[in-house]
Every structure is written in structure tokens, then in C-alpha cells.
Amino acid sequence: MHRLTPKLLLCLGVFGVVFCLHAFIGKSQVADSRWSIYTALSIVKEGHTDLDEYQDGLQLNGYYAIEHFNGHAYTQFPVGSPVLAVPFVFVIEKTGVDIMSGTDAGYAAAHRIPAGIEKIIAAFYIAMTAVFLFPIGPRFMGGPPPRLRPLSFASHPSAWPAGRSPPG
């Protein structure tokens, strides 16, 4: 067996465990990420970050966390999360999946996005972070036994808000 294979399998295992933990356990929190998928979709479809095309959704949500600048509506939160979501939204959009036809009652009537998309994208990035920490963890991180440190990160409260609240 090639020397790289066990490490690759371990990294895939870490990714799988952390991804499943964050994607399928606990409940979603929609606060600062409320407009992330909308903004990413706006970037993909329109090439900008304003949310003007979602006026009915903005109104239905009481313009929560929306700022108006030069006559355009923008989320008040940083654009980092929407930019990270762009590759996922692009692929979903290009495969013809209608991500605007979900059923989450918290979103606009005419422009709905399933809450699960945010969770899946957040879980992907949390799992990738754990995978990157896995090989360097023994060298730079203190705390639990070296190979458990990435999983310690993934279960730490600082990682949970990125995807959702912890179970319980």
C-alpha cells in the first residue's frame, strides 16, 4: 500500500465525520447568513451583490439586516460567506436545480431558498478546515491527543455558529 493512502483515508474519514456532524445534526440558525445565498445567487446571476431583485423577500423579512446605499439594497453583513457560497450556488444554478423554490417559511414567498443549502455549504467549509488541521495539528495545536485535535476544533463552539447551533 502506498504511504500516502492511510493519510488520505484518514483525511477522508475526518471530512466525512465532521461534514455529517455539521450537516445533519442540530438545527439551522439563520441570522447573519439570512441573505448569504441570495447575495451569492445575485453574484452568479447578475454579477453584483445588491439584493434589489428580492424586494418582496426583503419586505417580508422586515428589511432585517438590510442597508440601502445609492438606491440599492445590500445585506449589512460582510460578503465573505456569500463569496464562499458562490461556487456551490453556481453549480446548483448551472445544473438547473431551482434553489428558489424551497419551502422554508422564514424566507420570502416568491423567492424561497431551502435552509439546508446554507447548512451544507457551512458543513463543507468546517469539514475542510478540520481536514487541513488534521496533518498540522500534531505540530502546532495543544490540548487533546494530536490526531483528535481537528475533531476537537470541529466540536468547539467557535465552529458551531458557522453552520448551526449544537445538538441539544
Q: What's the pTM?
A: 0.73
Other CB atoms within 10 A of residue 149 CB: 20
Rounded CA-CA distance 39/101 in Å is: 16
pLDDT of residue 116: 73
Q: What is the pLDDT of residue 164?
A: 47
What is the pLDDT at residue 107? Answer: 41
Q: How far apart are CA 119 and CA 28, in angstroms?
A: 7
Q: What pLDDT shows up at residue 11?
A: 85
Q: Running along the chain, 168 residues long, what does each successive block of 10 average in pLDDT?
A: 76 89 72 81 93 87 91 93 91 71 42 67 89 74 61 62 47
Beta-carbon contacts of 6 under 8 Å, excluding residues fewer than 6 positions away, are none
Torsion from C-alpha of 63, 66, 72, 77, nearest 10 degrees: -160
